[in-house]
Amino acid sequence: MFINQWYYLVFKFLLNLSTIKTPIMKKILPFLVAILCFSDNFSQPPGWSDGFIAAGFDNHIVAIQSNATIIIDNSTISSGDFIGAFYDSSGIYKCGGFSEWTGSVIAVTVWADDIFTPGKLGFDQDEHMNWKIWRASDSITIDMTARYNINSNTPDSAFITNGLSEITLLEGNTLNSSIANFDSYDLNIFPNPINEDHLTISSSSDNPITSITIYNIVGELIKSYNNLNTKEYIIDISKLSSGNYILNVNDDISKKLVISR
């Protein structure tokens, strides 16, 4: 508790200093905060550390105070839950930084894309930060809606290199979460993005695939497969035009599909 309060005091001090617009100050401040925050963040939910490289100066620090409103299904979250910022990487959401909720103030270090590593590993400048919470009690990942302190250095959801901001509200529910619990089913979707005529969906866990539904981006039903009981299913998508779609599996797990021919 004392350490987290000390982090917050240091963060507020640096946030005040961030009004000094010298280039060296803009570079050093987020780096110092990143060291403070990341050094106390060794545990993690499955797969969340695969989407970024925690190194260098290029990051955005997001503070969440102990009195912030964080609600899932009208209930507060618990210590041991994780809060993370996600970016879209070719239709797959990857975590760009996270922190464990302790009940006191935390700061999430959100990392920029590492230009020296092949593929996308982090946020691009001005990219939207999607917030999600991993609930430790049932290993469910929930999409969250965020509200920011308008008086902070960067008062909206855009990733800004060397940015400093503060979230005052995170709100979500399990019914509308777009990535409800992909990990628990060990679902594999291939290929995605799609440039072929068939899509293969498979489950490597004990949970079978019982239903598959595809919607277009405005929510209209495109394809539906029910009464399934299989570990793998192949869908003919040869007649679907290029664009974005939503794949729903077992009525509670959704994932964005990108068809690019």
Tokens standing for residue 98: 């996270």
**Quick one: pLDDT at residue 22?**
53
Of 147, 172, 197, the residue that ends a domain is: 172
Candidate from 30-34, 37-41, 81-85 with smallest mean pLDDT: 37-41
The reply to whether 73 and 152 lie within a common domain is: yes
Task: Write down the number of H helices and E strands in the chain.
Answer: 3, 15
DSSP 76: E
**Quick one: pLDDT at residue 13?**
52
d(CA 244, CA 218): 10
**Quick one: pLDDT at residue 154?**
80
The reply to whether 107 and 11 lie within a common domain is: yes
Q: With contact defined as beta carbons under 8 Å apart, do 37 and 31 qualify?
A: no
**Quick one: pLDDT at residue 35?**
46
Considering only CA atoms, give the Rg of the chain: 20
The reply to whether 166 and 255 lie within a common domain is: no
Q: Is the confidence at residue 185, as pLDDT, over 70?
A: no
Q: Which of 75, 130, 117, 78 is nearest to 101 (CA)?
A: 78
Q: With contact defined as beta carbons under 8 Å apart, do 166 and 146 qualify?
A: no
The reply to whether 104 and 128 lie within a common domain is: yes
Of 118, 144, 172, the residue that ends a domain is: 172
Confidence of residue 183 (pLDDT cuts 50, 70, 90): very low
The reply to whether 187 and 145 lie within a common domain is: no
Q: How far is CA 55 from the centre of its chain?
A: 19
Confidence of residue 206 (pLDDT cuts 50, 70, 90): confident
The reply to whether 155 and 193 lie within a common domain is: no
Domain that holds residue 50: 2-172
How many domains, the chain?
A: 2
The reply to whether 49 and 132 lie within a common domain is: yes
pTM of the shown model: 0.58
In a domain, 196, yes or no: yes
pLDDT in tens, 216-237: 766 678 999 999 999 999 999 9
In a domain, 177, yes or no: no
The reply to whether 156 and 213 lie within a common domain is: no
d(CA 85, CA 132): 6
Please provide the average confidence, as pLDDT, over all residues in the chain: 79
Backbone angles phi, psi at 196, to 5 degrees: -120, 180
In a domain, 141, yes or no: yes
The reply to whether 118 and 70 lie within a common domain is: yes
The reply to whether 200 and 135 lie within a common domain is: no
The reply to whether 16 and 139 lie within a common domain is: yes
Which carries the bigger pLDDT value, residue 168 or residue 220?
A: 168
In a domain, 166, yes or no: yes
In a domain, 101, yes or no: yes
Q: Is the confidence at residue 75, as pLDDT, over 60?
A: yes
**Quick one: pLDDT at residue 233?**
94
| Residues written for the chain | 261
Percent of the chain with pLDDT over 70: 75
The reply to whether 54 and 163 lie within a common domain is: yes
pLDDT in tens, 113-165: 988 888 889 999 999 999 999 888 877 788 899 999 988 878 789 999 989 99
Looking up tokens 């509308």 gives 176
